[in-house]
Structure 1
């Protein structure tokens, strides 16, 4: 009963974490109305009048067609396994077994799972790094062009994946990046999990479809007020072969009994976000975010410059605090952040920020600085990674091999046997099949000290 007790517990004073509906405050009114009905009446199978994501008739098919029209896509599919499941679907639709795909170092690990399942060869490109925050930054078009040319010199590619926005609300030159890839005749899969709201207000950058991406995946719990696990895959243009490949991959990876509630969440949250009332709700949330940022900066609190006012990122390293320590201190005082990292602490304001956030969060962060602050932390070490790298041992072979755990200090020269992912649970610091050289082993030991409780002092390697 421990889980149930947690769900029934009184919420904290300032829940500033995902889902973006803010524990129900920003749920679309029709979805809120549905959830107020008798419990369970919405837990339905694929009845003929309801259908499912792969059915040509029924309410789901109609809702998907309406969403595609609303968002300017040729086709749209709802998913009930989160953005993770639809990213996997999209990548498997773009590449055949044995083909190479170009992926950024800040990829979500679900894409690695897709490479494993589809027998694809991941080629990883490095990203700009900010030593003061410890964050990977968006790539530049010129940098991506160089890495893409280097990757193509080693063999053909089937597709390129980009991530925008990042978890911290960072957005680069997305039109320029997509153009770089498409000039070489390659499709772009955009992981836009955190960006369903982009392009809907002048204070926000444009979204992936408007920038020309071929396939876009959005998580509707991260930026559209949907329930957790509801997501959408958008296809920009009609391509019968690609459409068939997507639906085949959906058949492989999605449940045959999709939740009618989650399908309704996808439909309703998108429709409401793009409606006049949804626009007004977003405008209010953005105004709160802009005002909160102004008050914090006025109070001398350092913030990471980003492009999404709904993601507030405190630069904890600048005030001498590890973000994980700051998170623990705030959590004891009823402030729940979304993402702690060694140099930063990110808050998700959501589509209906708590009423007391403008008053209470600046106060709590000033108290944090007085209680925990010190001299700024030393700059973070850049990951010792090549600009371009393909695992030396095939991904599937390394991940399925017999493995053993060795101390990080003794890992040099060994092949990684599984991903190493501190919080957030998704961005790997180590890929199966990569050889851990001495510099990487030393850097991982530094990371272990920076991520207390998140990185073990041993690592899984392929057994001798």
Structure 2
């Protein structure tokens, strides 16, 4: 069809990211900018404009203003998504040879940072929801057990990463987790990519952003949970546990030397939408509209799962013996495009645009799917065979750069991976470079391949 045709094609119901909904919820200033002469906004780092790492200019002033208004010490805008700022944060937090403690539902970008930064990822297991195949949130007691086990590995742990809220919108008691990490005199980075709008503090019943609960570093994706353009993101920093110089040096290492002025302007405008009166009013209305939609679907017996994010709808397909990947294809044919199709669920992101007439249509399509496939027996997922804590058998960077051969999964027992096995989305690695493929892991990956037939190969690359 061609890229330009696809970009201009209209889709009747966009329930995928970015959250601005094909421009419907873009901040007014960005919409007005894009109406001007094409390309007028495509400027370099002119003296008056500056950039995220330049001390003077409009960007520097904007970052200072955003940090002040949110109540943190510093912030940096990013044009390489949450990925670039998460990776920069990890490189600032640890030296080569040091370890980072992180949950198994970490995004692949953090493993990549360990790979090229010479860091050791210590991965800890987390609760698992067998009825849907999702990683669950954990509490302080769980984290305390993780720390006890991590000590046995005898690695120099430099920092801890948390993911909250999750892609599907589950949220933990993040304050207690941050307190536990700080009790070990370690800094904490929170991947809050899917929770940017929580800085609005718009309602007391919604989760609080880790910014307000003592996290040292917090990364927001401004297109996932705010009305920013794709690739716009922000890193917030507070306290004295992380040296700002190290952060800036790491950002400079990974960020383009020609950041897009349009994306930087989008960072500024999307943050303002979350803290200024007019934007808060729009957000409040969208949250209320989303909750009414959820209530309508539940009353019509559509199987939705509970989460902490009103703007995300999780359709529980495995309850009726259906794969979310299979169901997603049916919704797409009916011109409703979801965000995250998984073996047991299909997650729709309502974003920040209106979906007033979605309810009846959604119910009709779901009932048609049930009639077509017939109601089947619900199925459950096995827990992944992970230890409480583990680290790669060989360093990630060493394994990734090794000579390799391609072997069938069935023949991979005892071999060491040189690659990530990582369905995307959600971008959570099932296997990382340097890990040994023992029998339990191979059996589990073969089972996962049945669930993700188009995402997981019959083969895996291992050290020769």
What's the TM-score bracket when you normalise by the shorter of the two chains? over 0.9
For 2:455 and 2:404, the matched residues in 1 are separated by 21
Q: CA deviation at 1:425?
A: 5.2
Please, which runs of 5 or more residues in structure 2 have no aligned partner? none
1:393 and 2:411 are equivalent in the alignment: no
For 2:351 and 2:205, the matched residues in 1 are separated by 15
For each residue in 1:11-60, what CA deviation from the matched residue of structure 2 results, as whole angstroms up to 9, or x when unmatched?
22211000000001110111111111111000000000000001111000
Alignment-derived partner of residue 212 in structure 2: 210
TM-score, normalised by the number of residues in structure 2: 0.97
For 1:282 and 1:406, the matched residues in 2 are separated by 50
Listed as ranges, the matches of 1:164-243 within 5 Å are: 164-198=164-198, 199-237=201-239, 242-243=243-244
For 2:378 and 2:451, the matched residues in 1 are separated by 11
Larger mean Cα displacement after TM superposition, 272-281 or 222-231: 272-281
For each residue in 1:124-171, what CA deviation from the matched residue of structure 2 results, as whole angstroms up to 9, or x when unmatched?
001100110000111221111110122134233100000001000000
1:137 and 2:139 are equivalent in the alignment: no
For 2:374 and 2:267, the matched residues in 1 are separated by 42
On the 8 A contact 1:448/1:454 being kept in 2, the answer is yes
For 1:33 and 1:419, the matched residues in 2 are separated by 42
On the 8 A contact 1:197/1:223 being kept in 2, the answer is yes
For 1:417 and 1:377, the matched residues in 2 are separated by 36
- Partner of 1:162, secondary structure, is strand
Listed as ranges, the matches of 1:24-173 within 5 Å are: 24-153=23-152, 154-173=154-173
Q: CA deviation at 1:274?
A: 1.3
- Partner of 1:65, secondary structure, is helix
On the 8 A contact 1:339/1:423 being kept in 2, the answer is no
- Partner of 1:221, secondary structure, is coil
For 1:37 and 1:141, the matched residues in 2 are separated by 52
Task: Name the Cα RMSD after superposition.
Answer: 1.3
Larger mean Cα displacement after TM superposition, 417-426 or 89-98: 417-426
Alignment-derived partner of residue 347 in structure 2: 346
Please, which runs of 5 or more residues in structure 1 have no aligned partner? none
For 2:330 and 2:231, the matched residues in 1 are separated by 29
Q: CA deviation at 1:423?
A: 2.6
On the 8 A contact 1:191/1:217 being kept in 2, the answer is yes
For 1:238 and 1:259, the matched residues in 2 are separated by 30
For each residue in 1:347-388, what CA deviation from the matched residue of structure 2 results, as whole angstroms up to 9, or x when unmatched?
000011333223322322222222234223321011111110
On the 8 A contact 1:341/1:423 being kept in 2, the answer is no
Listed as ranges, the matches of 1:261-272 within 5 Å are: 261-272=262-273
On the 8 A contact 1:326/1:345 being kept in 2, the answer is yes
Deviation beyond 4 Å, 4+ runs, structure 1: none
| Count, aligned residues | 461
Alignment-derived partner of residue 6 in structure 2: 6
TM-score, normalised by the number of residues in structure 1: 0.97
Q: CA deviation at 1:173?
A: 1.0
